[in-house]
Amino acid sequence: GDSVTQMEGPVTLSEEAFLTINCTYTATGYPSLFWYVQYPGEGLQLLLKATKADDKGSNKGFEATYRKETTSFHLEKGSVQVSDSAVYFCARRAGSARQLTFGSGTQLTVLP
Question: Judged by CB, which is closer to other proteins: 70, or 96?
Answer: 96
Burial per residue of 66-91, b for 16 or more beta-carbon CB atoms within 10 angstroms, e otherwise: beeeebbbbbebeebeeebbbbbbbb
Alpha carbons 31 and 100: distance in angstroms, whole number? 10
Closest distance between other proteins and the C-beta of residue 12, in Å? 16
The sheet carrying 75-77 orders its strands as 19-21, 75-77, 62-65, 56-59
Under the binding rule (CB under 8 A), the answer on residue 32 touching other proteins is yes
Is there a contact between 94 and 2 (Cβ–Cβ < 8 Å)? yes
Under the binding rule (CB under 8 A), the answer on residue 99 touching other proteins is yes
Under the binding rule (CB under 8 A), the answer on residue 83 touching other proteins is no
Strands 106-111 and 11-14: parallel
Closest distance between other proteins and the C-beta of residue 26, in Å? 14
Is there a contact between 80 and 15 (Cβ–Cβ < 8 Å)? yes
Among 23, 49, 62, 64, binds other proteins (CB under 8 A): 49
Under the binding rule (CB under 8 A), the answer on residue 26 touching other proteins is no
Question: Judged by CB, which is closer to other proteins: 50, or 110?
Answer: 50
Q: Which residues bind other proteins (CB under 8 A)?
A: 4, 6, 32, 34, 36, 41-46, 49, 51, 89, 93, 96, 98-100, 102-105
